[in-house]
Amino acid sequence: MDGKTALLDIDHMTIAFGGLKAVNDVSIQINKSEFVGLIGPNGAGKTTFFNSITGNVSPTGGGIVFDGHSLTKKRPDQISRLGISRTFQNIRIFPKMSVLDNVTIPMHSAPSYSMWAAMLGLSKVTRQQKETEKRALEFLSDLGLEAYKDREAGTLAYGLQRRLEIARALAASPKLLLLDEPAAGMNNDECNELAELLRRIYKNYDLTVILIEHHIEFVLKLCDRIYVLNLGQLLAEGTPEEIQSNPEVVRAYLGSRRTKQ
């Protein structure tokens, strides 16, 4: 890293569950506009690492600073408002609601009208609702989901539900987007399509991204830098080229992945 201030600065973080250190003394710095990969074997601590950034688990040691704010004592909703959004390893959407409503909910711009105004159907309310819907449709269109806007979200095909989750994450206007295995269960063609889509939204929305993924080619193609976690500890950090040729990474992780794929 060069000397400039990182957008996300994780300093000697440890997360223990009883006797198990799921994340063990890990330091990571991410600059604005980087697309960074986080890889490693099952149980390495990757999702736990995300959970600590979003306030879903509390670190037992170390610090997390995002955009000048310490996150260690903040709630998930406060962290979301500071500009961090995520998707989950197991898809989380509202399956019984429409695709469009799934996206308008996270658009947490508080309405600037009163409940009375809403009940009386005043024009400002209608205007604001129309504006929100227009913006939500733009998110759906960017994710190729506009045609499904009125569908019950839970009836969408798996790959489309994954995209809806990304649309929901974008709707909260993040600076930093955390993606936890967005390509899980996808074949090569679907992976390629998703990679193109992620590249596009990364550019168009001026994002910084951290990507957890077991599809290695997908990570190598998208990321500027990659961190490797193993048994809760940082095993390596480097460019895709450096990571691929790092013997320790090949031994602990890449060797077995490459033979499986």
Ligand X SMILES: Nc1ncnc2c1ncn2[C@@H]1O[C@H](COP(=O)(O)OP(=O)(O)OP(=O)(O)O)[C@@H](O)[C@H]1O
Q: Interface with ligand X by CB under 6 A: which residues?
A: 17, 20, 22, 40, 42-48, 89
- The binding track of 76-95 with respect to Mg ion, each residue x by CB under 5 A or -, is -------------x------
- How many CB atoms are located within 10 Å of the residue 105 CB? 14
In angstroms, what is the minimal distance from the CB of 47 to ligand X?
A: 3
In angstroms, what is the minimal distance from the CB of 179 to Mg ion?
A: 11
- How many CB atoms are located within 10 Å of the residue 177 CB? 24
Selection from Mg ion, ligand X, none that 17 binds (CB < 5 to 8 A by kind) is ligand X
Q: In one letter, which amino acid is 156?
A: L
The C-alpha atoms of residue 64 and residue 13 are separated, in whole angstroms, by: 8
Strands 208-212 and 35-39, by their bridges, are parallel
Residue 51 binds to Mg ion (criterion: CB under 5 A): no
Specify the residue, 22 or 176, whose C-beta has the smaller distance to Mg ion: 22
Sheet holding 69-70, edge to edge: 20-30, 8-17, 61-66, 69-70
Burial class (CB in 10 A: 0-12, 13-18, 19+), 247: exposed
Selection from ligand X, Mg ion, none that 122 binds (CB < 5 to 8 A by kind) is none
Specify the residue, 46 or 162, whose C-beta has the smaller distance to ligand X: 46
Residue 47 binds to Mg ion (criterion: CB under 5 A): yes
The C-alpha atoms of residue 32 and residue 183 are separated, in whole angstroms, by: 24
Specify the residue, 171 or 219, whose C-beta has the smaller distance to ligand X: 219
DSSP letter (8 states) at residue 51: H
Q: In one letter, which amino acid is 236?
A: A
Residue 48 binds to Mg ion (criterion: CB under 5 A): no
248: which 2 tokens?
């320790």
Specify the residue, 171 or 194, whose C-beta has the smaller distance to ligand X: 194
Let me know: does 11 contact 53? Beta carbons within 8 Å: no
In angstroms, what is the minimal distance from the CB of 155 to Mg ion?
A: 26
In angstroms, what is the minimal distance from the CB of 210 to ligand X?
A: 13
Specify the residue, 5 or 256, whose C-beta has the smaller distance to ligand X: 256
In angstroms, what is the minimal distance from the CB of 38 to ligand X?
A: 9
Would you tell me which residues interact with Mg ion (CB under 5 A)?
46-47, 89
